[in-house]
Structure 1
Amino acid sequence: MAIATGVSESKVLENVVIPPRPEVLLQVSEELKQNEPDIRKIGDAIAKDVSISAGVLQVVNSAAYKREKTIESIHQAVMLLGMNRVYAVVRAVALRNMVADSYHLEAFWDTASNVANACVMVAEGLGMGDELDNAYLMGLFHMAGVPVMMHNFADYGRVKATADCSGWDAVVEEEMASYGTSHIAIGARLAEKWHLPEAVAEAIYLQYSPEQSLIDADASEGLVKMIVVLKIARQAIMVASEALVTENDWHHFAEHVAERLGWSESELEQFVETLANNLREE
């Protein structure tokens, strides 16, 4: 997917520092390309990077995963989560490690993990068994542009403060006016450079645009699935938590999400409520 930015934004993006893929991602990626990937080699590659392996264990032992027993080794994490799922976690931890740690984004990363798990629940509930790994990546990386923006623009904290109160969809215009680009454009660019699935990169960029992602008859099936999964997951989390500020555009998406699923809006709302109840119980 080519990000459809204008000339001026494209010039800005050329000067934005996008963290390069770390060596451990390249090693794991190469192993996953094999006809029969070796799960031990993947664990060994991750374990060699002390900071990333420590971050992966922190994530898999967090409240988002609700493990009864503490996972003590990377090889345990790989066995329990599976190669593709743990690779997604490695990607997220690598990004977290590569931007400055002084932005107080702990809650941001916790939310990303929660959204990722909710996206998997949505995909399972919709019978998208072959999309579970992509759904997880979608949730984990849909806001990946935010820490990169903070890393590149010293005063970006004021935008984050506005978004925390009003929702991230409400600050895109402010980002464009202040920086010439936005967290969705940078998030999509990072997804491309880190070789995330095309549908995930495209959905990151179009996550606030129902007219391009759901209404457009030419929108790809992969894009539609990722937008549907993400929007339902975030809405369910907001309903379940009654505290998390999420996009304020559910009313723009709900009708089109229901239409894509072949449901009535009341059926969609019931699905969201059921998912929210399941999230409350976990």
Structure 2
Amino acid sequence: MAEALRRAAQLLGSARRVVVLTGAGISAESGVPTFRDDLTGLWARFDAQQLATAEAFHADPDLVWGWYEWRRARVSRAEPNPGHRAIAAIQTRVPDSTVITQNVDDLHERAGTRAPIHLHGSLFAPRCIAAAGHPATFEDISESEPGQPDEGGRVAPPQCTSCSALVRPGVVWFGEALPQAALTAAVEAAADCDVLLTVGTSGVVYPAAEIPGIAARSGAAVIQVNPQPTPLDRVCAINLRGTAAQVLPALVAAAWEETDEG
């Protein structure tokens, strides 16, 4: 591990363009469960696919909005961990860097990362269900705090201030394509980086799982941070076994300690 960390630090410290791809693992260290694991309490009687689809929202918008408000409230109480802060530090050291996340929380932003690409949307970026998909902020819809559900977990969704359509969670549901602009930006960044760090992702959810391969085929060094082997092992130049909060601060310290000394 020590030798792998040293080699990874050398690559990171000399990189001019860095991409960091994060998955559920980094948020789990802040106590944010995956959406399937978030089916607890009064939500335990549901399957995720009963709630995370456009069809479910149209059938019972109060129920679906209520679940996402409950999830947003939980995320709002979580705090960025040292892994999130280390990624923000990478962006400070390497301004021409891009953070891509599969997570729908705002922990990267709160840790100081600028403009992360959210491949799967965000709990904090609602939009209306109309074809135009007008974005809505929680201030616009008078929801500066997560809504309070009734005993059945339901919360009535607000209406879009532009067109009066219902506002929906700004996440990618089952059966929906990833946001094209976000996916295009992620692919372009991966194809043009020197180093790609893949952190806490299982490597099985496509098309996000293809991003490290794009970087590798374009000549970048791919470094994986994960406690367990994943399908991404085969495209990685270096595998660092450990969690984001454990490994990334040490990696950042080693990368720029070596650079500063050199």
Structure 1 length normalisation: TM-score? 0.27
Which of the pair is proportionally richer in helix? 1
Q: Which has the larger radius of gyration?
A: 2
Higher relative contact order (CA 8 A, sep 6+): 2
The structure that is strand-richer by fraction is 2
- TM-score of the two chains, using structure 2 as the length reference: 0.28
